[in-house]
Amino acid sequence: MKHAHHDTLEQLNTSLNDPETLRTYKEHYDDYKPSLLPRLLGNMLIFFGNVVYGRAPTYLKFRAIEVIARVPYHSWSSASYTHLTLFFTDERRALRYSKSIRFADIAQANETMHVVVISRLAQAEARAGVLRHTLIPILFSFFYFWSSYILYFFHPKASYELNYLFESHAFQQYDEFLRVYGDVLRSKPIESSFLTHYGRTHANQYEFFRAVRNDEIIHRNTSIEVIQKL
Ligand SMILES: [Fe+2]
Ligand SMILES: [Fe+2]
């Protein structure tokens, strides 16, 4: 069951290599307007991220983004788990939470692959500072975890909308990275046993980052699609 889902997602990811398919897929939710609270929180996260890591995409900025991007998925699993501890006799509700855990689990495994492989690649490019690249992302993650958890617990729609904004930012950063460094990335090899374990093979870093970019737009769109199932 889970495997079938994984294969379908991988197919969707590959189809988004085609610029026209990507454009159509992305357009679907480009104009989605999140409510005020997620917008405030999302803008704050992105603003501080730009202040600490700069506006332009870099390996080390991606490392920080990926540490932080995993967190909402875990917070949703955790909040759903708590919900089910309290409301297990309500079958309709249990079904709803079990379904939403599925998206969270799949995306969480995907983001884990991103952070492991990207931090490995970053090692070859630049030196990571303990404060800027390890401690600050942990602080961001702590703040993001609890914002996402509390929102999800009381108003799940707003939590998904916050994720929509963060994933949208991640997508834009990878897209810019591919446009600016495309040629260099095509000449850089990619070797990672974690990536192989995840089930992906790429000829070079361009292919890897393109697949990551596609993952982020899938995360962004799916965040809105699950709202409709709430
Ligand atoms: Fe990611
Ligand atoms: Fe993501």
State in Å: Cα 70 to ligand 1 middle. 7
The enclosing domain of 129 has a CATH number of 1.20.1260.140
Residue 87: pLDDT band by 50, 70, 90 thresholds?
A: confident
Ligand in nearest proximity to the CA of 208: 1
Does residue 23 lie in a domain region?
A: no
Helix H segments across the chain?
A: 2-15, 19-30, 36-53, 59-69, 71-86, 91-123, 130, 136-154, 156-186, 193-198, 205-227
Using a pLDDT cut of 70, give the percent of the chain over it.
Answer: 98
Q: Taking 90 as the threshold, does the pLDDT of residue 95 lie above it?
A: no
| Domain coverage including residue 171 | 39-227
Q: Yes or no: say if 29 and 221 are a contact pair by the CB < 8 Å rule.
A: yes
State in Å: Cα 69 to ligand 1 middle. 6
Does residue 183 lie in a domain region?
A: yes
Mean pLDDT (the chain, rounded): 93
Q: Taking 80 as the threshold, does the pLDDT of residue 4 lie above it?
A: no
Ligand in nearest proximity to the CA of 114: 1
Most confident of 58-67, 99-108, 130-139: 58-67
Residue 1: pLDDT band by 50, 70, 90 thresholds?
A: very low
Tokens matching residue 54:
């700069």
Q: Taking 50 as the threshold, does the pLDDT of residue 221 lie above it?
A: yes
| Count of structural domains, the chain | 1
Q: Taking 60 as the threshold, does the pLDDT of residue 91 lie above it?
A: yes
Q: Taking 90 as the threshold, does the pLDDT of residue 224 lie above it?
A: yes
Q: Taking 70 as the threshold, does the pLDDT of residue 50 lie above it?
A: yes
Q: Yes or no: say if 170 and 69 are a contact pair by the CB < 8 Å rule.
A: yes
Helices 156-186 & 71-86 angle (0-180, nearest 10): 150
State in Å: Cα 174 to ligand 1 middle. 10
pLDDT computed for residue 2 by the predictor: 47
Three-state DSSP class for residue 65: helix
State in Å: Cα 219 to ligand 1 middle. 9
State in Å: Cα 101 to ligand 1 middle. 18
Does residue 17 lie in a domain region?
A: no
State pLDDT tens for residues 162-219. 999 999 999 999 999 999 999 999 999 998 999 999 999 999 999 999 999 999 999 9
State in Å: Cα 141 to ligand 2 middle. 14
Ligand in nearest proximity to the CA of 62: 1
Does residue 124 lie in a domain region?
A: yes
State in Å: Cα 218 to ligand 2 middle. 8
State in Å: Cα 109 to ligand 1 middle. 10
Does residue 157 lie in a domain region?
A: yes
Does residue 121 lie in a domain region?
A: yes
Does residue 78 lie in a domain region?
A: yes
Does residue 92 lie in a domain region?
A: yes
pTM for this predicted structure: 0.94
Ligand in nearest proximity to the CA of 174: 1
Compute the radius of gyration of the chain from its Cα atoms: 17
